[in-house]
Amino acid sequence: MASSKVSTLCAVFLVFNLTRVSAKIVASFIMPHGGIALDPRHFNTTNSTAKKEAWEIHNACVKVRQQMQQLKPDLVFLSTPHGVADLKNFLFYLNPQGQGHADTDNCQCPPCCYSVSVNLDTKMSADLVKSLGLAKNVSGLSAYGPPEQSSEPFPLKWGEVIPLHFIPGLNNTKAIILSQPSRRYTDDVAMIPELL
């Protein structure tokens, strides 16, 4: 997280190992969420520099996947600027499951068919909503059912699916997803303290 500007443009992973009483951040990564990073083979451009850069980003994502494989985190915390956004508040997704496809502007399914299904740690998300609260511009969002109990998955798209796609063994890992409010389009610099 060298640049706070970057953190408003990219999804951020924090990776935790948990014990019964404490949690420790073991790594953090800044991930892209565009289709060209996901699958540069389908990046339809005649610009060879752009194509080469897409492969560099993709290969860096693959390296993150390899590091995650070694870290075996108990929990992945994903902060995304392109999720389901409130005007004011940061939102934790409160469904027990999230699910969706990664169709993007540069590559639709088919041929780019990528989907993820992820178990969300609703208990910890709800605890964070409670402890941070509206005074810190933090709330929660449940889709199609009560918080922490909906039988429907929370709908995900490329803003979550592409970074999550690079997590190995996703179905054995729990995730927390936080969306950044849409005021970040206009107030990104003023929001630096909050984003940090």
Binding-site ranges for ligand NAG (CB under 6 A):
44, 47, 49-50, 53, 88, 136-137, 171, 194
Strands annotated E in the chain:
11-18, 23-31, 75-80, 90-93, 97-101, 115-120, 138-141, 154-156, 174-179
Q: Which two tokens stand for residue 67?
A: 């590091």
Of residues 47 and 66, the one with the C-beta less far from ligand NAG: 47
Min dist CB 47 to ligand NAG, Å, is 4
Q: Whose Cβ is closer to ligand NAG: residue 146's or residue 169's?
A: 169
Give the residue from 100, 95, 109 showing the smallest Cα distance to 155.
100
Nearer to ligand NAG, 24 or 67 (CB): 67
- Tokens coding 122: 């609703």
Q: What are phi and psi of 176, to 5 degrees?
A: -120, 135
Provide, rounded to whole angstroms, the least separation between the CB of residue 55 and ligand NAG: 12
Shortest CB 21 distance to ligand NAG, Å: 28
Q: Which is nearer to ligand NAG, 5 or 88 (CB)?
A: 88
